[in-house]
Amino acid sequence: MFVFAAGLSSAVDVPSRPFSIRRAEQYRQHSLIFGPWGSEARRSRDPFVLARTVDPTKVPFMFLTCGDREGFLAPNRQFAALLAQRHFAYEFHTGPGAHDWNQWNQRLPEVFQSLLSHIDTGK
C-alpha cells in the first residue's frame, strides 16, 4: 500500500519506556496508542520488535532523521543500526538541532526529494 515512510525525530523507544511519575500524563497517552505496559498490544507495536520480525522486503522505504541535541538521538541510532543489520531500505540522517521545527524544517527538502525518488521507482 505504501512505498515511503518518514520519521522526523521519531520516538521509536516509546513502547519500551518504563513508567515515570514525571511524565505520567505522557505515559497515559502512550498507553492509549501502544497499549498498557507489558501487554501483547504494546509489544506488537514496538518498532524494534517489528523491525526484528517483519520481512524487510515488504516494508516501505524509510527516511529517518534526528537532531544531534535530542534525547531521541540514541534510540534512533540504535533503530537505524537494526535496520542496517536486517537490510532494510532506509536512510538515516543526523544534523544540528533540537526537537523542534527549526531542525525539522531544514530536513523537509531532503524528505521530499527522497519521497519523489522512491515514488518513481515504486520502492
Write out pLDDT tens, residues 66-120. Answer: 999 999 999 999 999 999 999 999 999 999 999 999 999 999 999 999 999 998 6
Q: Are 38 and 19 in contact (CB under 8 A)?
A: no
Q: State pTM to two decimals.
A: 0.86
Question: Under a CB-based contact definition with an 8 Å cutoff, are residues 77 and 9 in contact?
Answer: no
Q: Report the pLDDT value the prediction gives residue 89, as an integer from 0 to 100.
A: 98
Q: Give the three cell numbers for residue 56.
A: 524487510
> Domains along the chain?
4-121 (3.40.50.1820)
How many Å separate Cα 122 from the centre of its chain?
Answer: 21
With a CB cutoff of 8 Å and minimum separation 6, the contacts of 36 are 42
CA distances from 104 to 43, 63, 114 (A): 29, 13, 15
User: What are the strands, taking DSSP E only, across the chain?
Assistant: 4-8, 61-67, 90-95
- Selected residue with higher pLDDT from 121 and 105: 105
Residue 55 Rama label (left phi>0; alpha psi -120 to 50; beta): beta
Q: Which pLDDT score, from 0 to 100, does residue 110 have?
A: 96
pLDDT of residue 121: 54
